[in-house]
Amino acid sequence: MQGISAQKRFAADMMARLPDRFPTVQGDFMLYADRCSRLFIASLLWLGLAAGVSAEEVSLVGVFPGKALVVIDGAAPRALAAGQSQGGVKIISVERDSAVVEINGKRSKLNVGENPVALGGGERGQVVLAANAQGHYLAEGAINGAAVSFLVDTGATSVALSTDVAVRAGIAYTRGARIAVSTANGATVAWRVKLDTVTLRGLTLRNVEGVVMPASSPVVLLGMSFLNRMEMKRDGNSMVLTQRY
């Protein structure tokens, strides 16, 4: 919205600079043409700058104390601290060998040395996951902006997370509805909650149902409350998730 407001101010400024009468003599015409050509060039420069703020790919090539060394769209590496932005990419947090970045309202956790993550995109997001040696699909992501590790689980009804993860994500889970669930250790009580955002790589869904379990596992089960909003296709050891809505 800030970009739109800036464009409106720019357009208003352009209109204010136009002459208030049509040229009547050669001298006036030359002045008019020169002035309009300058405005046209300025407009092109504005559009170029506006178009340049959306990054397509981001990769993390190194981490320094409090700073992430990122490569944006193949450009030279830039060291950015948490809260700083470059090329439309904002650094949210920096850890020992990873960083959480945000672009266009989408957050993703990047690990040092991983392939670039595509964060820009069209109307429907898409993520490709590779199975590990045990055939499981693991991926980094975030819940309410807090970095987490996901395990894709089509047998789970909802996104299932531990109380530890819920606290890190700022979820007041005890205000949620108490429900009875069955675990390997028997029946227990959990809490049904709404997750503001669930981000898998660069793909973010909002208002996703979750269940907070009384456990301390760092792994979050990515269940059907998220996966039902995806088209899922398997190709060998890969799983392609395409956002449906």
Sign, CA torsion 220/221/224/228? positive
Kindly state the average pLDDT of the residues 85-105.
82
pLDDT of residue 71: 81
Burial (CB count within 10 angstroms: exposed 0-12, middle 13-18, buried 19+), residue 226: buried
pLDDT of residue 178: 96
Helices (H), 18-106: 26-51
Query: Is CATH 3.40.50.1820 the right assignment for the domain spanning 57-116?
Result: no
Distance CA 139, CA 109 (A): 9
> 218 in helix, strand or coil?
coil
Asked if the domains at 57-116 and 126-243 fall in one CATH topology, the answer is: no
Q: Which of 117, 108, 14, 11 is nearest to 56 (CA)?
A: 117
Would you state the CATH architecture of domain 126-243? Beta Barrel (2.40)
3-class secondary structure per residue, 138-158: EEEEEECCEEEEEEECCCCCC
Would you say residue 45 has pLDDT above 90?
no
Specify the DSSP class assigned to residue 137: B
Domain ranges for the chain: 2-51, 57-116, 126-243
CB atoms within 10 A of CB 202: 24
Condensed to tens digits (0 to 9), the pLDDT of residues 65-93 reads 888 888 877 677 788 999 898 877 889 98
Specify the DSSP class assigned to residue 96: S
